Amino acid sequence: MSRLFSAYVIVDWSAAAKPTTGADSIWIGVLKRDVRFRLTFESYNPATRAEAETRLAAVLDDLKKRGERALVGFDFPLGFPRGLAQALALPGETPWRAVWDQLAKMVKDKPDNTNNRFGVGSEINRRLTGGPFPFWGCPPKDALTTLQPKRPREHGEGDLPEFRHADEAAKGAHSIWKLYYNGSVGGQAIMGIPVVRRLKDARGETLRVWPFETGFKALTEADLEGVATVVAEVYPSLIKAAPAAGEVKDLAQVRGLAEHFAKLDEAGKLGAIFAAPKGLPEEALAAAQTEEGWILGA
């Protein structure tokens, strides 16, 4: 069986408010074939999200020019818990895209990483509940009536879910409503989704977002005809990556995950993990495909 992809790009994102490199910053790992068709790894550690977006666009454009298809994994949720688009009364029949479009309108991210993610969370809270819920987490100086440093209460009946179905399947995943502190995937999603949206819009149908645009199915070469890039959500902690001497954990994880997917592809097993998770109820499958998204390999 032939490989589905020629390159594997893994992105460890960051919602940092100032330029940052090293540990807990953005890392981009690219595993691709050299002139002798051997897999080689290169990494980038851009200090800002603007630099990261420029680098990613250049990598994808170069691969496409060479006729090589890439799997691109981002380590933040590409969708929110079921019901958000409806609760916000967002226009359109596609919930995931409606949320993407709304975030693109709200997010302000300057070249120096200064951003308004707390303001975005606060405004969404205002529209949803009029109080500091469901988004939570911020430095005390950024606290507002509709956003507090600590979670004000548990999720209850009538609230949007705390976790997506994918988060529950991954076990140990943090809630997307968390905007600050360790594991603040909410902040990363708010600052990352507009970037993925721009990459998608610039490439049209040659870039497909899984599972929103592909559905849940074991992908084949025929399914990917004309597709240069498949974007998916990944969870680096699904594999154990051992850093080399003096190497930060983030770099080891993006390399390890890229190598993991490459090995599956070489063995003809990668396409199968795009299929529907076993045992997931139809209602959960529908939510994952239309608004929540899923974690590749979870």
| Chain segment 27-85, per-residue pLDDT in tens | 999 999 887 788 999 999 999 999 999 999 999 999 999 999 999 999 999 999 999 99
Residue from 43, 13, 41, 17 nearest 26 by CA? 13
Give tens-digit pLDDT for 207-231: 999 999 999 999 999 999 999 999 9
User: Shortest CA distance to 53 belongs to which of 226, 202, 254, 177?
Assistant: 202
Q: Which two tokens stand for residue 155?
A: 């999720």
Whole-prediction pTM value? Answer: 0.97
